[in-house]
Amino acid sequence: MACPVRISALHYLVFLSHLECSSCGLRHDWLHLQNLCTACRKPLFEKSLWRYRELLPLPAGEEPVSLGEGGTPLLRAKRFADEVDLWIKDESLNPTQTFKARGMSVAVSMAKYLGAKKLAVPSAGNAGGALAAYAARAGLEAHIFMPRDTPRANIIECRELGAHVDLIDGLITDCGAEIDRRKEKEGWFDMSTLKEPYRVEGKKTLGYELAEHSDWQLPDLILYPTGGGTGLIGMWKAFDEMETLGWIGQKRPRMFAVQASGCAPIVHAFEAGEEFAVKVPNPHTCASGLRVSKAIADFLILKILRQSDGGAVAVSDEEMICVAREVGAREGLFVAPEAAACFAALKALLAAGKIASGERVVIFSTGSGIKYLECYGL
Ligand SMILES: *Cc1c(COP(=O)(O)O)cnc(C)c1O
């Protein structure tokens, strides 16, 4: 069986390119002692997820391929659930409006550094958009294979970002198979999630930001909309790294994978006590990011859910769409159905008494609803 490759050691590459004003964006030389912005007297930050550059793979001195990804807000929920201390990590503010940007920034940076010229990815939608953007930024070719019923916004986005787009009559696994068949002859580098070691490195910055924004106290519980599981696996890796660095202690959040009823291989495997998931024959859900019938890293996801004393929850499309409006009206966030699934799962877990009142819960709102207008009745 092919297993995902990942970095096993921590990298302590000290690297800093510049400081940037948190207000006006003016760049400052880090080689000089700096306090506030020399123009507007506001604080200077290193912006984007590359703030954690010492913990990311790109060698020092190489310029990352960046569009300002990461550094998203952790918002305190105002009205959605009073019983718990709910926080929302709003990933819709990333370039291309989803958290796929995190993985692709690091993966495209590494692919470019290592000499790749043509990048290919099978995508349910958002990975394609993110690859198209970062490949364009890097001056590389992007070849994107998506199921024909991918949300229109994703298809148009890829095209307008200059990618080569192929629509396949089939599922994301069929898209992956097509790339496998042709990649050698075409000279494509396969950027599929977890078949490539660095997307998970970009996604792990979710864990670093979460800890940093919570004063290095991780929450009691995390709800994560799980397709391939890259973010869940990445965060778990980040927690271990941070413990090694002495930034956090041994406590871990209970990790919950949230999936769609029409495609819930992890939920089924978790409930059956299995180590691996069984491929879902006819996956269907409008939450395209969750339409992954068999995740290559299913065993890693399941291990994390069990180790953390977490769980797995399936949510129907009807519930997602219904809850999305509640989130919109109560919190001011137009969320992707994947994110809406987490809010519905929170309700289900509360109703089942699996979350104690007052516990601190974080939902990863992985994308914007604006990319899913078909789901919301366009
Ligand atoms: C891809 C995607 C997911 C699933 O992410 P994984 O890390 O593959 O599990 C969730 N939400 C959105 C909006 C996505 O695009």
The DSSP H or E segment spanning 330 is helix 317-331
Mean pLDDT of 171-184: 93
Best residue among 96, 363, 366 to mutate for probing ligand 1, ranked by most atoms within 8 Å of CB: 366
pLDDT in tens, 223-252: 999 999 999 999 999 999 999 999 999 999
Provide the pLDDT for residue 7: 56
Integer Cα distance of 171 and 238 in angstroms:
31
Mean pLDDT for the stretch of residues 141-152: 94
pLDDT tens digits for range 309-366: 999 999 999 999 999 999 999 999 999 999 999 999 999 999 999 999 999 999 999 9
Other CB atoms within 10 A of residue 276 CB:
13
Query: Is the torsion defined by CA of 346, 350, 352, 357 positive or negative?
Result: positive
Q: Which residue is closest in CA terms to ligand 1's atom 1?
A: 289
Q: DSSP strand E in the chain: where?
A: 19-21, 27-28, 44-45, 74-76, 85-90, 118-122, 141-147, 164-168, 188-190, 221-225, 254-260, 311-315, 360-365
CA 259/CA 270 separation, integer angstroms? 12
Instruction: Output the average pLDDT for the chain.
Output: 91
- Residue list, ligand 1 pocket, CB within 6 Å: 98, 100, 126, 193, 225-231, 289, 336, 338, 366-367
Please write the tens of the pLDDT for every residue from 58-113: 998 899 999 999 999 999 999 999 999 999 999 999 999 999 999 999 999 999 99
The pTM of the full predicted model, rounded to 2 decimals, is 0.88
What's phi and psi for 269, nearest 5 deg? Answer: -65, -40
Distance (Å, whole) CA 38 – CA 187: 48
Label the pairing between strands 118-122 and 188-190.
parallel
For ligand 1, the distance from its centroid to the CA atom of residue 23, given in whole angstroms, is 31
Are the beta carbons of 67 and 156 closer than 8 angstroms?
no
- Residue 195 forms beta bridges with which residues? none
Please name the residue whose Cα sits nearest to atom 4 of ligand 1: 227
Confidence of residue 197 (pLDDT cuts 50, 70, 90): confident
* Residue 325 CA, distance from chain mean position: 22
34 CA distance to ligand 1 middle (Å): 39
Distance (Å) from CA 124 to ligand 1 centroid: 9
Dist. CA 225 → ligand 1 center (Å): 6
The preferred substitution site among 290, 333, 335, 371 for testing ligand 1, maximizing ligand atoms within 8 Å of CB, is 290
CA of 290 to the centre of ligand 1 (A): 6
SS (H, E, C) 227-291: CCCHHHHHHHHHHHHHHHHCCCCCCCCEEEEEEECCECHHHHHHHHCCCCCCCCCCCCCCCHHHC
Longest alpha-carbon distance in the chain: 61
User: Which atom in ligand 1 lies closest to the alpha carbon of residue 98?
Assistant: 13
Closest approach atom of ligand 1 to CA 226: 9
| CA 289 to ligand 1 centroid distance, Å | 5
Stretch 9-18: mean pLDDT: 50
